[in-house]
Amino acid sequence: MNKKHNIVIVGGGSTYTLGIIESFLAEKEYFDIAKISFFDTDEERQKIMAEASKIILKERAPDIEFYYTSKDKEKAYKDCDFAFIQIREGGLKMREMDEKIPLSLGCVGQETCGAGGISYGLRSIGSLFEIVRDIRKYSPNAWIVNYTNPAAIIALALNREFPNDKKIFNLCDMPLGIMEALANLIGKNANDFIPEYFGLNHYGWFTALYNKEGHNLMPDILKLLTKENIDTHKLNIEKSTEKSWEDTYSHLVTMCKDMPGSIPSTYFQYYLYPKKIVEKSDCNYTRANEVMDHREKIEFQKARQIISEQTSKNVQTIADLHGRYIIQVVNSLANNLGKTSIIIVPNNGTISCLPDDAMVEVDCYVDRRGPRPFNVKEISTFQKALLQNQYALESLVVESWYNADRQKLIEALALNRTVVNFNVAQKLADKLLEANKKWLPQFFN
Ligand code: NAD
Ligand code: G6P
Ligand code: MN
C-alpha cells in the first residue's frame, strides 16, 4: 500500500487552489493524502477557498483531514511530507504596478520578465525565506516545492540562502503547457512525450520531443508549426478564452520561424520582440487587470457558490494544467516512478556555460531521491549569450536584495533585453523601489 502524505499549501487563498485540490483528488489512488493544511497571511481571502475546499473534500474524500490557518504555523507545518508554496506578495494590485511602471517608461510590463519580474522578485524574496524557515522548523524533512513567481529569481535566492537544503525545488508549468499545445497539434497526449529542454525559467528551449518508442517528433512538429496559415487556436487549449494568451501562442509560431531548430518558451516573446509587445500593450489595462476580471472573479465565484449551496455538485472545478503538473512531479517522486519532468534545479555542471550556482530549468529524472538533471549537450553561441546575460542579471537582482545595492539593481535592469537603456534603468530603479518601499526597507535606511 502507498504511504499516505501530509501536505501543506502556502498561499491557500490562491486562484489556483480549487484546481490543485481537484488535481490531487484525480490522482488520489496513486498519491494518497492523509492531511491537507492551508496557510495564508490573508485570513479572509483564504477562508473562501478553504471553506469551499473543505466541502469538496468532505464530499469526495472524507478520509482526508483538512485544516487551515493564518496564524498557527506549527499546526500548518508540523509533520508534513510536501510543502507547496504559491504566494503572491502584494497581491494582484502590486502585479498591476509591476506591469504599469515599466510601460510608463516604454518598457515591457510583465510579471515575470523584464522590470516587472525584477520588481516582483525583490518584493518576494524576504517572505520566501521566512516561509522556508518556518517549514523547516516544524518539518525538517519535507520536500518543499516552490512555484511562486518570478520562479527564476526566487529559485536563485533560495539556493543562495539555503545552499545545503537538498529538498527544495522549483517548478513552472509553462513547459507542460507548451507540450500540451504541441501534442494537441498532432493529436497526441503530452504524457506521450519525453522532452529534452534547457534554459532558465521562462527562458529556455525544447530541443527534442521523443515518443515512447524513442522517435524524436520535433522535426515533424516544427514542420507543422511553421507551415503557412496554421490555425493557432489549435495550439492554445486551456487558456483559449483570454486574448493575451491567444496572442502568446501565435507569437510562439513566429518565434519558431525566426529561430529555426528548437521550440522556445513562449516568454521569449517579451525578450525578442519588446517593441512590438509594448506597442500592443494598453498601459491602463494590463494582464493583472485581465486576471482580476477573469480568473480571480471566476474562481472566487465558484468557491462562494460551493459555500452558499454547501455542496460542490453544481460547480465545475477542473484539474487544470497547473495542478496536474504539480501532482505529476510529486507522484513520480513519492512513488519512485522515474518519470522525466522539466524542473528548476541547481546547475552544477548541467549547462556547461553557466556557473554551478545558476538555477537551470531542464529535463530531470524524478524518483524518490528527488529531481536529477540530464546533462545538456550542444548550445549555440546565440543561446549561450542569451543565457549568460540573463543569469547575470538575475544574480544581480539577488545580490542587490542582499546588499541593498541600488547600483546593482540598475545594472540588472540595464542588462535586461526589455530595458537596455541605462537612463531608463535608473528611472525604473527609482520608481520600482519607491513602489516596493514597504517590502524593501533596507534600501531606504
Ligand atoms: P493569488 O494572489 O490569487 O494568491 C496568492 C495567495 O498568496 C493570496 O491568497 C495571498 O494572500 C497569499 N500570500 C501573499 N503573501 C503571502 C505570504 N507572505 N505568506 C502566505 N501567503 C501569502 O495569486 P495566484 O495568481 O493564484 O498565483 C499564486 C502564485 O503562483 C503566484 O506567484 C503565481 O505567479 C504563481 N504561479 C506560478 C506558476 C508557475 O508556472 N511557476 C503557475 C501558476 C501560478
Ligand atoms: C504560465 C506561467 C506561470 C504563470 C501562469 C499564469 O503557466 O508558467 O508562471 O503564473 O502562466 O499567468 P497569468 O498571466 O495567466 O497569470
Ligand atoms: Mn511559469
Residue 330: the pLDDT is: 97
Q: Is the pLDDT of residue 236 over 90?
A: no
Residue 170: the pLDDT is: 98
Q: Which three cell numbers stand for residue 176?
A: 507542460
Give 185-196 pLDDT, tens digit per residue: 898 999 989 999
Residues, CB-to-ion distance under 5 Å, ligand 3? 172, 174
Going by pLDDT thresholds of 50, 70 and 90, the confidence category of residue 163 is: very high
CB 103 within 8 A of CB 42: no
Q: Is the pLDDT of residue 270 over 90?
A: yes
Residue 391 appears among annotated catalytic residues: no
Residue 285: the pLDDT is: 97
**Mean of the per-residue pLDDT values for the chain?**
95
Q: Return the ligand number nearest the Cα of 174.
A: 2
Give 39-89 pLDDT, tens digit per residue: 999 999 999 999 999 999 999 999 999 999 999 999 999 999 999 999 999
Q: Ligand 3 center to residue 148 CA distance, Å?
A: 8
Q: Which three cell numbers stand for residue 8?
A: 501543506
Q: 339 has which bridge partners?
A: 366
Q: Is the pLDDT of residue 307 over 60?
A: yes
Q: Which three cell numbers stand for residue 424?
A: 531608463
Instruction: Determine the atom of ligand 1 nearest the C-alpha atom of 148.
Output: 32
Give 85-120 pLDDT, tens digit per residue: 999 999 999 999 999 999 999 999 999 999 999 999
pLDDT-above-70 percentage for the chain: 98
Residue 78: the pLDDT is: 97
Q: Ligand 3 center to residue 173 CA distance, Å?
A: 5
Q: Which of 124, 149, 244, 248 to mutate to test the pocket of ligand 2 (most atoms within 8 A of CB)?
A: 149
Residue 237: the pLDDT is: 64
Residue 241: the pLDDT is: 62
